[in-house]
Amino acid sequence: MIPLDSEQQAARGWFESLRDRICDVFEQIERDVGSSAAFEYTPWSRVDTSGEDGGGGVRGVMKGRVFEKVGVNVSTVGGALEGEFGKTIHGAGDDPRFFATGISLVAHMANPHVPAVHMNTRFLVTTKRWFGGGADLNPPIPYAADTADFHAAFREACDAHAPVGDYLRFSQWAEDYFFIPHRNVARGVGGIFYDHLDAEGPAFDPAFAFTRAVGEAFLAIYPQIVRRRLGLPFTEAEERQMLAWRGRYAEFNLVYDRGTLFGLKTGGNIDAILMSLPPRAIWE
């Protein structure tokens, strides 16, 4: 494993512990409906461009009765960024060396009344140190109560960590980022998104505390929404509506998503990178 300093180790440990807690809750939801579905974990490793150990991660995927497909990945990688791509990464323009650790989650649900969701938080080190991430809700059939509760959870997390957590700025950032320009449509009903959150020196502790709060907010609110909607009956037309909406989600992740591009450009595991794609989708 690549060597880690104390901040890198703390961030990695948090992301892995958050993964474990989320997966436990999601598996319990499956148990509650009589399903024995469980996460299957696949470790992977990478070799850096220099031929040295480049770190790796674990891909976790569950396919069940409630979660048609949910992936929860953690990774810790490092090495050197290649060519022009490296110049696009914050702080790597003059020095291509980097470190990144994070968690990435995408859930595609079996019932169209239960919203799909994305959550990702990460810690990156180049010549600068910063956190980034966020979460957004993607309902094929939106419910105002679900949208309001999701946003309220992240507003509370932001407000508790102000001024580092800036809900108005981060929620607008999510609206701008989670948008599909070629369709002229939002990917979902928003959430929060932030990037390049300063974690240099004394800024590390408040930035890390806020990032932990984002993970806790997700864990607190999303399972509630799932349980609220998972038993609702749905029609064939509503299922087709969900599958068409998934097509839009796939388009965003393949064309615009920064995490997808970063993973591909840094030699990550292809199955882990494309974990976000739905098991079924249609284009009409």
pLDDT at 32 over 90: yes
pTM: 0.94
Q: What is the mean pLDDT of the chain?
A: 94
pLDDT at 1 over 70: no
CA distances from 269 to 40, 69, 97, 127, 263 (A): 16, 18, 19, 25, 8
Mean pLDDT along residues 51-70: 94
pLDDT at 267 over 80: no
Alpha carbon of residue 148 to chain centroid: 20
Matching residue, tokens 């595991």: 269
Q: How confident is the model at residue 263 (pLDDT cuts 50, 70, 90)?
A: confident
| Annotated active-site residue in 108, 113, 118, 161 | 118
pLDDT for the residue numbered 66 = 98
| Beta carbons of 81 and 28 less than 8 angstroms apart | no
Q: What pLDDT, in 10s, does the model give residues 225-249? A: 999 999 999 999 999 999 999 999 9
pLDDT for the residue numbered 264 = 83
Q: What are the backbone dihedrals phi and psi of residue 206, each rounded to the nearest 5 degrees, phi first? A: -65, -35
Dist CA 199 CA 10 (whole Å) = 13
Per the annotation, the verdict on 161 as an active-site residue is no
Mean pLDDT along residues 34-58: 90
Q: What pLDDT, in 10s, does the model give residues 189-222? A: 999 999 999 999 999 999 999 999 999 999 999 9
Q: How confident is the model at residue 273 (pLDDT cuts 50, 70, 90)?
A: confident
pLDDT at 77 over 80: yes
Residue 102's contacts (CB-CB under 8 Å, 6 or more residues apart) are: 15, 74, 75, 120, 121, 122, 123, 133
Residue type, 21: R
CATH topology classification for 6-276: oxygen-dependent coproporphyrinogen oxidase (3.40.1500)
